[in-house]
Structure 1
């Protein structure tokens, strides 16, 4: 980039600034309206993004009895599903999700899994071998109607169609009864969102059980039946309903589950019930089951069983955890419309980390998320520590991270990464109670609608935990490596087809929303619109169009360019400073312009030929009579002829025109280039010769007529000494090296090493391998 100083009329400067606005072709119009891509509004979903006056959704209630055999790790259950058709459609069959069938040997998941890399870890190889050998999935033993008669059903991989004996009309209900069993698996070996952890030291199991019962698939206006097969990444689309669940486990187990415990007097001791009652009004967590009591339970081996009875109202799923190793702490949390019990269940292996941070993190999450959405509506919020790195269900979450045991000293310590990893994963998973457990988006179709929105709120909650909290995702600069990667697809890609799952579905949408809040809309407008979206769609099922439309409807900001660029393309942000021109009005006064023009001439270098010709014999040296007036004065000299012409022209000008000619301010024209394709606001720090710094924010609409290059005129009294583009790194600009005038050197260090073997080291500019599979320790291939 360069700066040039030119003499010109003000009108020429303005004309120059406008010449770059050539009309873009319609195919490249990044500001064209998004309505051409969005579904047509109707009586179910309005153009404002709100539910329509005829919005409907199905109701599915469950009564379930299950038992876990702690010797064989097999789960056996029976359920009664009450399905109510609130749609205007007549249904002839119901689709049921059979998620555990993903673990069948011949499942689509296993058959479509690609080969591992040549280099593979021991754990990775174990996973490959065990996955090939394990043959899990549901064993459906009975499907009957309310009268006990068998119902015709067809199993297609992870889906089961149950044919109804008569069509189910609007407002009618039908009962489907299913019996089943399946083999639980060791989660650390086969992965997934459910399973058990085996503790060899004390010969105990810790069960975290999810996707464990046949669940009705979602049926809604924008999709019909959401019966896409479950391959591992696309999560769940479910209906709200009431649950009545009885869980039979060994008598010395402690159970945590979705819902409210109904029979505490049968499964808890009097001391434990009193502790639980005390916790309701405590100002810090109260131990319901102490570490010492958990250690005693570890040693016991009861041959008896207990049945834990839970009820949950208006939830879309149910999960539970069970183990004799559990410590249990609890604390009541009441604020606004929230009145709940925050609880944590964890083995002694989780302390001292879990006892200090888990329940505090649960409460902090509800406190922060409620600011931006709605009050937490459920009676409990639980964090469980076991083999699952991070997974969410209504009222209960499974979370990883535990201290490291020093086998020599017997002491347990944890790293900085482990501490903040635990706090972060609990915030993230508890936050999922809001998205998608309450704002019930279709995860099988659009992962970003729950993961992206939730990761964004996680970032806000983390930043409210402590100053400079080390958030992995949220800051714009953290996503730039991914944004310039060739190995990506748009955010608006079906869950099973996403590349770089963590970056695409978590990091990029979370960063986009943070940029939208901080840079595009401002906090006040964004927070109002986002809360409006959450309030509109709590306990309902929104689509991407509903989110996009609500954010615009509640803010009066046209964001179509933003949704299109960030969500529908793989463009990246790379705005560069181009040339910088300094203009001043030509006063036309020869006495004034003489000094100005001579100064410009003096800025030019001496031509190389002139330098080398110095000392040569010149004709005028020997023949001085050849010298005249023009040798005594240069072309800039103010002559009487110039003055007379100037005076004559001045008499023809109006006063306001004369004022423009003597305007001594600096007129800077700054060129900008959009190299990345993604249009964004232009944010500048302009430093002047007196040291003052001016912060300038130019909206993205400056690009609306030419998305490749634009120029901006700045009229200033003082001289500009430097300009910084995106000085706070808030737009995810992938190349900040072209953001400065004058240019700055790129700072780095030489990394010196001794070559040990010929092929052990790569070239100096070794490319760092992208952590493509990194996620929130949650998805199938964790």
Structure 2
């Protein structure tokens, strides 16, 4: 906390030390893992069957939990995320609701909630010998009470049998996983996530992370190895985390040939199941089932998708010293967009992110079109459907590419750099949104990125105080979630890269953080410390303002004073003084008196005159000349150069109106049409955080000044950034907004208009 609240300095530049956890043998003061760093491991062997008639699954998992901590564990905690959708879910009871003059059916259904039989049914929990293990279920968390403590270095094997009914994720219940029903062909598209009981994280910095799941705050998960056998209808196509280990059993000969070809194709995706083939399967609905087997190493989660509607394409991507399979699964409703862009966007994301962090380590990366947007290791669910005639707006095109980049990018943050999303949403969403912005700009030079550039966070930063929270806020307590957890941290990182640190220092430090903490559990402290440790840039003031505070940037250019060095000769000075005196003493009364006063006393009476009546006050005396010559003789060459330079001195005073200290980026525009930029670091405010004055010597004559000309500091009031002041109009637009389902075409559609003309 600040120590000098009565003063106008020291608070914003105070070091973060007391606000961060103390370094220890697990996490060092440099931000790197300590020499005794540890983390738990959970391995899974799972069998699951999808009931396509009743939209449910039934599964059994064998968990091998390895206690790498130095602690003895008397019980284990397991996440049961599906319980968040149960009839009596605590999350629904804790959600405010109200009646308005106009209510949509979806809003009303949300108040009524539902009477569906949702949530986990835990059928059994048994130890390796088949004995029942007592458990206690508290909402979305299940405690497994051990017969004897699990000591440091030991491992425990147990099994869980469970089932649950899959919900319609397009309904008011919403959420990340579920099914989508296509009425036209009477088929389902399943996206199965949060679908099995998952081990909670036990860590050195908080013990068990068993905070309840309310739907927004995502996940903290333990790394492990997976073998998952998925039984689905025989004509379904399945995509999942990991590597398909039995392609010969589940693919036909044609698909298998195409799959093998895709492994050697780097330029264009190979379509393994075509749209025509998928449409035939939509109508046939074959009987029987197939079991798809996937294996994944060192992942924190596992998700999968299944449908007979799927088109499937894939291509190889050269990442580092290995090839990665980039793939897409999508129904015909997503074409032509997904066939043209999806897998290419996956490939681009892998290359872009790898160049700034570490080489993507997994063997596959999958994009699934599911009118959704959510990430899991090696697989993500995205949106982006054209209109039924195949046309689409620019908004839906770029929205689709952006969500694919974003969700595939989550493989890096938090699937590999495994931060705790339930506690610190910004550590994955913010960092990933920043990386998404960089990848978008590499995709298209004029890419319409929504988040990243500083000026695009201004509307949020100028919000009323009651609607703002620090970035370092738990996700369940944030009002403007997207702006706070995604946009503001992404903007902050972009400002760090472009304005505070510079690209070279930032890129090195950011990569250092990613490489230090890949396949580990970092905290904000580790990020903050690493960025400083690897750059030698003191950023505590920046973290304090942008991440721990809610103050906006509003720096006003208050005054500009112009000075020149008085280097005139005595004759020049006296001439100037005479002119000034004449100007000063020429006024209306004196001008009229020249005519109205015929003769003054002094003019009439010689006795009233003395020395000063004939004295020339503006004459140069011999002593003045000598003093000047002696002064000039005493100057050395550098002093003479400065004395005769003719420099202009511009004294600028800045006021910190908003409170958030930032660098001063000043553009000087000169009368000859030229201009230049000066960058003053934020530490200019260190002695006075509310007002600072600084003098700028310039050879040229100044015409105007612009503060923050490139809009790189997120200044919320640009009207006070100009000298002379410039009026900046505030514009408004009249429009009628029509809302549609997520992933539906939005914005104007010139493609459709052109098609009509033809």
Q: TM-score, normalised by structure 1?
A: 0.88
Contact 1:103 1:135 in 2 (8 A): no
Q: 1:611 to 1:182 in 2, by over 3 A?
A: farther
Q: Which of 337, 341, 349 in structure 2 is aligned with 1:365?
A: 349
Shift of 1:532: 0.4
Shift of 1:538: 0.3
Aligned match of 1:623: 600
Question: Does 2:544 correspond to 1:541?
Answer: no
Alignment of 1:472-551 (within 5 A): 472-486=450-464, 487-551=467-531
Aligned length: 727
Q: 1:380 to 1:739 in 2, by over 3 A?
A: same
Q: 1:632 to 1:184 in 2, by over 3 A?
A: farther
Q: Which of 727, 739, 751 in structure 1 is aligned with 2:709?
A: 727
CA-atom RMSD in angstroms: 2.7
Instruction: State the alpha-carbon separation in 1 of the partners of residues 590 and 79 from structure 2.
Output: 91
Aligned match of 2:647: 665
Shift of 1:27: 7.9
Aligned match of 2:272: 288
Contact 1:456 1:513 in 2 (8 A): yes
Contact 2:718 2:728 in 1 (8 A): no
Q: Which of 404, 408, 413 in structure 2 is aligned with 1:430?
A: 408
338-347 or 656-665, which moves further after superposition?
Answer: 656-665
Shift of 1:587: 3.6
Contact 2:311 2:332 in 1 (8 A): yes
Question: Does 2:543 correspond to 1:559?
Answer: no
Question: Does 2:236 correspond to 1:258?
Answer: no
Contact 1:390 1:776 in 2 (8 A): no
Question: Does 2:564 correspond to 1:584?
Answer: yes
Q: 1:631 to 1:534 in 2, by over 3 A?
A: farther
Shift of 1:125: 2.3
Q: Which of 54, 72, 77 in structure 1 is aligned with 2:54?
A: 72
Q: Which of 456, 462, 477 in structure 1 is aligned with 2:440?
A: 462
Q: TM-score, normalised by structure 2?
A: 0.91
Instruction: State the alpha-carbon separation in 2 of the partners of residues 214 and 725 from structure 1.
Output: 55
Aligned match of 1:395: 378
Alignment of 1:750-765 (within 5 A): none
Q: Which of 618, 623, 648 in structure 2 is aligned with 1:644?
A: 623
Shift of 1:499: 1.6
Q: Which of 698, 710, 728 in structure 2 is aligned with 1:746?
A: 728
Q: 1:631 to 1:671 in 2, by over 3 A?
A: farther
Contact 1:338 1:376 in 2 (8 A): no
Q: 1:64 to 1:715 in 2, by over 3 A?
A: same
Aligned match of 2:155: 173
Shift of 1:118: 1.3
Shift of 1:134: 3.3
Contact 1:103 1:134 in 2 (8 A): no
Q: 1:507 to 1:595 in 2, by over 3 A?
A: farther
Deviations 1:53-76 (A, max 9, x none): 000000100011111111111111
Aligned match of 1:151: 133
Instruction: State the alpha-carbon separation in 1 of the partners of residues 406 and 235 from structure 2.
Output: 31
Contact 2:13 2:541 in 1 (8 A): yes
Aligned match of 2:11: 29
Contact 1:23 1:706 in 2 (8 A): no
Instruction: State the alpha-carbon separation in 2 of the partners of residues 491 and 115 from structure 1.
Output: 26
Contact 2:8 2:688 in 1 (8 A): no
Q: Which of 106, 109, 114 in structure 2 is aligned with 1:124?
A: 106
Contact 1:344 1:358 in 2 (8 A): yes
Aligned match of 1:60: 42
Instruction: State the alpha-carbon separation in 2 of the partners of residues 157 and 551 from structure 1.
Output: 38
Instruction: State the alpha-carbon separation in 2 of the partners of residues 364 and 34 from structure 1.
Output: 38
SS of corresponding position for 1:83: strand
Question: Does 2:214 correspond to 1:236?
Answer: no
SS of corresponding position for 2:17: helix
Contact 1:380 1:395 in 2 (8 A): yes
Contact 1:501 1:775 in 2 (8 A): no
Instruction: State the alpha-carbon separation in 2 of the partners of residues 214 and 120 from structure 1.
Output: 40
Deviations 1:107-136 (A, max 9, x none): 111110110461566353265156333341
Aligned match of 1:332: 316
Aligned match of 2:751: none
Instruction: State the alpha-carbon separation in 1 of the partners of residues 734 and 370 from structure 2.
Output: 43
Q: 1:616 to 1:178 in 2, by over 3 A?
A: same
Instruction: State the alpha-carbon separation in 1 of the partners of residues 253 and 118 from structure 2.
Output: 40
Instruction: State the alpha-carbon separation in 2 of the partners of residues 199 and 679 from structure 1.
Output: 53
Shift of 1:106: 1.5
Q: 1:416 to 1:24 in 2, by over 3 A?
A: same
51-60 or 716-725, which moves further after superposition?
Answer: 716-725
Aligned match of 2:118: 136
Instruction: State the alpha-carbon separation in 2 of the partners of residues 356 and 557 from structure 1.
Output: 44
SS of corresponding position for 2:329: strand
Greater RCO, 1 or 2 (C-alpha within 8 Å, sep 6+): 1
Q: 1:211 to 1:750 in 2, by over 3 A?
A: closer
Q: 1:598 to 1:90 in 2, by over 3 A?
A: farther
Gaps of 5+ in 1: 1-21, 406-410, 754-760, 762-767, 778-782
SS of corresponding position for 1:132: coil
